[in-house]
């Protein structure tokens, strides 16, 4: 299990991803996003292990996840349905994942072939504005964490556009 803050990029700051014991396992550089539309995930040595980059020419919010310099997935927001969000995590080959969740309860699951492989929840923790991310052994945790960050970026961007439309 991993622990991460809820609104990751509300202020564009850096933050750490912790394990279930409160130990730092990853560092996320959020400041880079404001400059280059890229989020960098670093290991404990400060080396980049993954990145999330917004695709500018896509019709719907799309983010590319790179792990170890290689394209690992594209996270694409599906059409809006009331109070629920759905994202496709398009990985190379036939094993795409789907992330769906409840905006009001802040509960999300990631499924692969109809089987739940990860869950993101506020309900497991008493710490305010914090998520627990549970990842099954058959899925790369960096892919799941990157997908959750991409989802948060897409939702934050949608909220910013909604606020400017008022």
Which H or E element spans position 66? Answer: strand 62-67
DSSP string, 116-135: EEEEEESTT--STTEEEEEE
Structure token digits, residue 26: 């990853």
The whole-number pLDDT of residue 31 equals 66
Alpha-carbon span 98 to 76, nearest angstrom: 10
The whole-number pLDDT of residue 90 equals 94
The whole-number pLDDT of residue 35 equals 55
The whole-number pLDDT of residue 107 equals 83
Angle formed at CA 129 by CA 126 and CA 130, multiple of 5 degrees = 65
The CATH code belonging to domain 2-165 is 2.40.160.200
Phi, psi torsion values for 16, nearest 5 degrees: -105, 150
- The answer to whether residues 110 and 92 touch, using CB atoms and an 8 Å cutoff, is no
- The answer to whether residues 146 and 109 touch, using CB atoms and an 8 Å cutoff, is no
The whole-number pLDDT of residue 24 equals 92
In order along its 166 residues, the chain shows pLDDT tens digits of 888 765 555 545 678 888 888 899 999 887 656 555 788 899 999 999 999 988 877 677 789 999 999 999 999 887 666 667 788 999 998 889 999 887 566 788 999 988 999 998 876 555 556 778 899 988 999 999 998 888 877 777 666 555 544 4
The whole-number pLDDT of residue 117 equals 95
Structure token digits, residue 32: 């880079």
């Amino acid at each position: 299990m991993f622990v991460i803050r809820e609104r990751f990029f509300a202020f564009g700051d850096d933050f750490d991803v912790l394990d279930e014991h409160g130990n730092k396992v990853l560092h996320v550089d959020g400041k880079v996003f404001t400059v280059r539309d890229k989020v960098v995930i670093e290991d404990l040595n400060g080396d980049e292990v993954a990145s999330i980059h917004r695709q500018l020419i896509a019709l719907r919010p799309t983010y590319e996840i790179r792990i170890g310099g290689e394209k690992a997935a594209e996270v694409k927001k599906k059409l809006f349905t009331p109070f629920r969000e759905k994202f496709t995590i398009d990985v190379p080959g036939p094993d795409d994942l789907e992330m769906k969740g409840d905006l009001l309860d802040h509960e999300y699951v990631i499924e692969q072939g109809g089987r739940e492989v990860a869950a993101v929840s506020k309900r497991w923790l008493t710490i305010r504005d914090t998520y627990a991310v549970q990842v099954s052994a058959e899925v790369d945790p960096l892919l799941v964490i990157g997908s959750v960050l991409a989802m948060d970026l897409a939702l934050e961007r949608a909220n910013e556009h909604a606020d400017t439309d008022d």
